[in-house]
Amino acid sequence: MRNTDKQHLRVILNGKSAGRSDIRAAIGAVRDMGHDVSVRVTYEAGDTARLAREALADHASERIDTLVSGGGDGTIHEVVDTVLHELGDGDRPPFAFAVLPLGTANDFARHIRLDPADVSACLRFAARASAKPMDVGEVNGCCFVNMATGGFGTQVTSQTDPNLKRVLGGAAYLFTGLHRFSELSACEGRIEAEDFVWEGAFIALAIGNGRRAGGGIRLCPRAKLDDGFLDLTIIPFPKSGMVPDLLSTLLESGVDGIRHGIIQRRVRHVEIRTEKSVQFNLDGEPMNGQDWKIGIRQHLIDMRR
């Protein structure tokens, strides 16, 4: 269903994209549709969170209908996480969220069927689409919109050269993994969820509200954004010598390409304890630690999708 009312869109725009002519044209086109569009541009670290807090304060006097995250997966993560932390426990944001996908991977945007190559269509969608309730994941008190990933695969994605990603896209992760797999080791851990316990070495794991991470890798292919569950995927460490083949299949075809050994569950709460510190990525933003408490907060936000 389309929203036909006049809207006020507040766009938090990553400063790296501020000079793009297609973005200026997209903003002009939405204004020509009769909507108000106010733009705030980031310049340095901390600006995204500061501008998200500013949007909350401004809403009291100038009613913001939709807060648009103009950037990559990390931008929508920081905007939503900041707004939710500013609000009281259980309070829902006073506006909807939307995405203007300007990042390298844009995994969440692709999940909701936005085309990053057509920013004008994406911004028109933010103005016209209905706001639908959406779940938000949480790891140790930090929110995530799309997916939390950990282990071997996380190291591959975090170590991939951004310039290589720009040239090769998702294939850059495969290139990095196959050339550096000998440097990476298995993660040992214990994973507990409702009526489920698993312990052992894993090459990667994912807890998905969305379906893809790391530039389109389908780690939780049946996850839904509004069902009150997270999709847990565990990829156990394979036998010696099989790591390159497994990594190649994972990065090229996702977990559906791996026929044996994958563990998948739908859960509401997960607790993970690892023997050594491991890196988790929340929508691409890194965290390090050994103890992880993960949960879902159902229908906490509205998203234009």
Can you read off the two tokens belonging to residue 257?
Answer: 């390409």
Q: 124, 9 in Cβ contact below 8 A?
A: no
Marked catalytic residue, from 188, 192, 271, 285: 285
Cα separation, 241 vs 249, in Å, equals 14
Cα separation, 304 vs 297, in Å, equals 18
Backbone torsions φ then ψ of 46, nearest 5 degrees: 95, -15
**Catalytic residue list contains 138:** no
In the chain, the DSSP E strands lie at 8-13, 36-41, 66-71, 96-101, 131-139, 142-144, 147-151, 187-193, 196-208, 212-213, 217-218, 230-236, 263-267, 269-282, 285-304
- 3-state SS track over 24-81: HHHHHHHHHCCCEEEEEECCCCCHHHHHHHHHHHHHHHHCCCEEEEEECHHHHHHHHH
Residue 271 burial by Cβ neighbours in a 10 Å radius (0-12, 13-18, 19+): middle
Q: 85, 53 in Cβ contact below 8 A?
A: no
CA atoms lying within 13 Å on the CB side of residue 216: 16
Q: Which residues of 231-262 are buried (b: 16+ CB within 10 A; e: fewer)?
A: bbbbbbbbeeeebeebbebbbeebbeeeeeee
Helix (H, G, I), strand (E, B) or coil at 182: helix
Active site residues: 285
